[in-house]
Amino acid sequence: MSATFTVRLQRPGADPVQFEAPTGLPVLLAAERAGLAMESSCRNGTCRSCICLMEAGSVAYHIAWPGLSLDEKREGWILPCVAYPTADLALALPL
């Protein structure tokens, strides 16, 4: 049985929204299942169109190296198309 986490998503100029994300589903797919549209294109961690800032929480990647630099990862940037939640998340979409 997989755990389910709460994701709080802050969009520029809008009220934050919340949705549930199970550990076995990338954050982007969990958002879509909840009826929320997020920018995306490749869905494999290379195009970076879905990039978000993780303000709280943690994620895991099931690919060797998502399309983020080490500095971006340290700053909290994630790629929701390939990021799997491992805790409740607070995410912010860039301007």
pLDDT for residue 1: 62
pLDDT for residue 64: 79
Local mean pLDDT, 10-residue blocks, the chain (95 residues): 92 96 97 95 94 97 88 96 98 93
DSSP annotation string for 33-89: HTT-----SSSSSSS-TT-EEEEE--EEESSS--S--HHHHHHTEE-TTTEEESS-E
pLDDT for residue 32: 98
Q: For residues 11 and 70, give the distance between their C-alpha atoms in angstroms, rounded to a whole number.
A: 25
CATH class of 4-90: alpha beta
Among 44, 42, 20, CA closest to 32? 20
Task: Indicate the domain borders of the chain.
Answer: 4-90
43, 60 contact by CB (below 8 A):
no
